[in-house]
């Protein structure tokens, strides 16, 4: 420690500002986590609702196909029992019309012969004019002996040209050979209209899909979308029985949140979806509102904390300056007499416990009063500052202290230094001041500025009755007096008692 330094306490203002910053970041982090959690919760709620809707509508699609299949079973039984002679076909024409007319779900029931030619239909006027030999449903039944139903791909209705879904069964001749096909046509618009009864918002859609990825029907109904295949969509490809189906629509490009349910009997499934932006619009509005409030709160807390921190910092600076003024000599920047006395007492007690020596150097500027009289008090003050700066270099260790003892007297406290160490330091100081060659005409014979030093060293005792800090000062002062009596510009050491 080369000079007296006032240790500043740790700034509370910095801690306060750090605390305010941590509080603001904590509020921001907690609010962000809560908002993100609520957003996930909202998305999961939407997904659950759309999945439930998809399950319900898939059941309705199953009911529709089961109704159509029940009609097919009845017609197959009648054809296999009554045959396909003209009288029997005439009776079937009436029967088909009566069965289909009250059903919105079924567009037509049609009977085709073994060559694919239309024999009878619930839509009169087409007998003998239509042939379906090239359709998949006819190829399937004519080459397969199974009498189970078959859901064919989406086709243009041979009886009208509109898109239709087909469910068909094979009927046999009395000998068991292939006799023809009974087919029920389900219009996609029926599903589109039925799906429109459910509120999925202005951006929502409900889509009936074939398991091969073909769009069979859709709400809102868009003609160009019917027949589009979404099999290449990885989300659809990964969908198994049911689950969430979030996707960007290939039809209108909107991002949607949906649920998908595949029917376990028929090769169809339903995707019920809502527009992501529309579904989260309310949450987004609340998020913006909450974010604004939290932002204003954080801004208020941060501003108040920062302002308070600034005020506290200015107060601490003022208190630190006052503390420095209370412990520092204003002229030389060294420790003042009060600080010296306090440090001497502290080091004396420590040395008494550790049985180590304490040395003290008292320094006096030779003929200083005469220096002031010749050169003026301002020059005298500058002289003291120069000497203080020079001797401050002697305080090399943490416990060393250089202080202005009073007037032109300076003191150096050297804890742990023995008599020889103190003498070496004192002589080094004397030589350094002399080497400054500061002119002092009233200080013969050298006519330059010099100092005299009194040195005292003692090993303190906890028993103050033997020797105390004041005794060390007295010894050093006596040594200083002897140095001056012996001609000044010299070091005198107190003799051991």
Q: How many beta carbons lie within 10 A of that of residue 12, not counting itself? A: 14
pLDDT of amino acid 1: 43
Contact (Cβ atoms closer than 8 angstroms) between residue 446 and residue 489: yes
* 48 vs 120: CA distance, rounded Å: 46
Place of tokens 């002289």: 383
Residue range 450-467: mean pLDDT, rounded: 86
Specify the pLDDT at position 224.
85
| Contact (CB, 8 A) for 263 and 62 | yes
Closest CA to 417 of 437, 434, 401, 438: 401
- In 76-175, at which residue ranges do the beta strands (DSSP E only) sit? 108-113, 118-121, 150-151, 155-156, 163-172
The pLDDT of residue 4 is: 52
pLDDT exceeds cutoff 90 at 308:
no
Q: What is the CATH number of domain 337-493?
A: 3.30.70.270
Smallest CA-to-CA distance from 330 within 343, 339, 317 is with 339
At 8, is the pLDDT very low, low, confident or very high (cuts 50, 70, 90)?
A: low
pLDDT at 45: 94
Q: What is the pLDDT of residues 337-364, one digit of tens each?
A: 999 999 999 999 999 999 999 999 999 9
Using one digit for the tens of pLDDT, what is the confidence trace for 321-342?
A: 777 778 888 898 899 999 999 9
Q: Give the pTM.
A: 0.62
Quickly list DSSP for 239-289. Answer: --SEEE--EE-TTT--EEEEEEEE-SSSSEEEEEEEEHHHHTHHHHHHHHH
Q: What is the CA radius of gyration of the chain?
A: 54
Q: Is the pLDDT of residue 240 over 80?
A: no
Q: Where are the domains of the chain?
A: 337-493
pLDDT grade, residue 41 (50/70/90)?
A: very high
DSSP for 337-386 reads HHHHHHHHHHHHHHHHHHT--EEEEEEEETTHHHHHHHH-HHHHHHHHHH
What's the whole-number average pLDDT of the chain?
88
Indicate the SS3 state at residue 41: helix
Within a 10 A sphere around the Cβ of 439, how many other Cβ atoms?
A: 11
Which residues, 6 or more positions from 95, have their beta carbon under 8 angstroms from its beta carbon? 75, 78
What is the reported pLDDT for 3?
A: 47
Q: Is the pLDDT of residue 368 over 80?
A: yes
Nearest in space to 365 (alpha carbons), one of 453, 456, 424? 453
For the cut 70, the answer to whether the pLDDT of residue 283 exceeds it is: yes
């Amino acid at each position: 420690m080369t000079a007296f330094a006032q240790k500043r306490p740790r700034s509370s203002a910095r801690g306060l500002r750090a605390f305010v910053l941590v509080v603001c970041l904590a509020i921001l982090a907690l609010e962000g986590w809560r908002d993100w959690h609520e957003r996930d919760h909202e998305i999961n709620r939407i997904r659950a609702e759309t999945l439930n809707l998809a399950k319900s509508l898939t059941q309705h699609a199953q009911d529709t196909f089961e109704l159509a299949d029940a009609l097919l079973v009845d017609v197959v039984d009648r054809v296999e029992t009554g045959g396909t002679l003209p009288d029997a076909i005439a009776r079937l024409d009436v029967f088909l019309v009566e069965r289909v007319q009250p059903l919105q779900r079924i567009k037509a029931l049609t009977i085709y012969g073994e060559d694919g030619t239309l024999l009878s239909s619930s839509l009169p006027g087409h007998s003998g004019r239509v042939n379906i030999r090239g359709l998949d449903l006819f190829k399937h039944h004519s080459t397969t002996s199974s009498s189970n139903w078959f859901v064919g791909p989406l086709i243009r209705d041979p009886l009208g040209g509109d898109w239709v879904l087909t469910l068909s069964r094979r009927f046999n001749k009395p000998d068991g050979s292939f006799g023809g096909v009974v087919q029920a046509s389900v219009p996609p618009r029926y599903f589109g209209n039925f799906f429109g009864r459910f509120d999925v918002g202005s951006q929502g859609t409900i889509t009936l899909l074939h398991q091969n990825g073909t769009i069979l029907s859709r709400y809102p109904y868009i003609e160009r979308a019917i027949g589009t295949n979404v099999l290449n969509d990885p989300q659809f490809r990964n969908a198994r029985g049911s689950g969430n189906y979030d996707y960007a629509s290939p039809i209108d490009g909107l991002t949607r949140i949906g649920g998908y349910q595949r029917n376990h009997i028929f090769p169809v499934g339903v995707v019920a979806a809502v527009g992501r932006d529309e579904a989260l619009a309310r949450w987004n509005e609340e998020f913006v509102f909450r974010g604004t409030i939290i932002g204003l709160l954080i801004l208020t807390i941060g501003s108040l904390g920062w302002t308070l921190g600034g005020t506290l910092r200015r107060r601490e600076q003022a208190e630190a300056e006052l503390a420095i003024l209370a412990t520092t000599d204003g002229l030389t920047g060294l420790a003042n007499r009060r600080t010296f006395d306090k440090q001497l007492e502290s080091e004396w007690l420590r040395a008494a416990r550790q049985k180590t020596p304490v040395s003290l150097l008292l320094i006096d500027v030779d003929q200083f009063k005469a220096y002031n009289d010749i050169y003026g008090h301002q020059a005298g003050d500058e002289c003291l500052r120069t000497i203080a700066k020079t001797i401050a270099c002697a305080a090399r260790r943490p416990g060393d202290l250089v202080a202005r003892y009073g007037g032109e007297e300076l003191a150096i406290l050297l804890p742990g230094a023995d008599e020889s160490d103190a003498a070496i330091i004192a002589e080094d100081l004397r030589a350094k001041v002399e080497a400054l060659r500061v002119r002092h005409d009233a200080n013969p014979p050298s006519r330059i500025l010099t100092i005299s030093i009194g040195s005292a060293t003692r090993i303190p005792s906890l028993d103050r009755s033997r020797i105390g800090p004041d005794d060390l000062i007295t010894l050093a002062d006596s040594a200083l007096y002897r140095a001056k009596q012996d001609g000044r510009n010299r070091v005198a050491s107190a003799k051991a008692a």
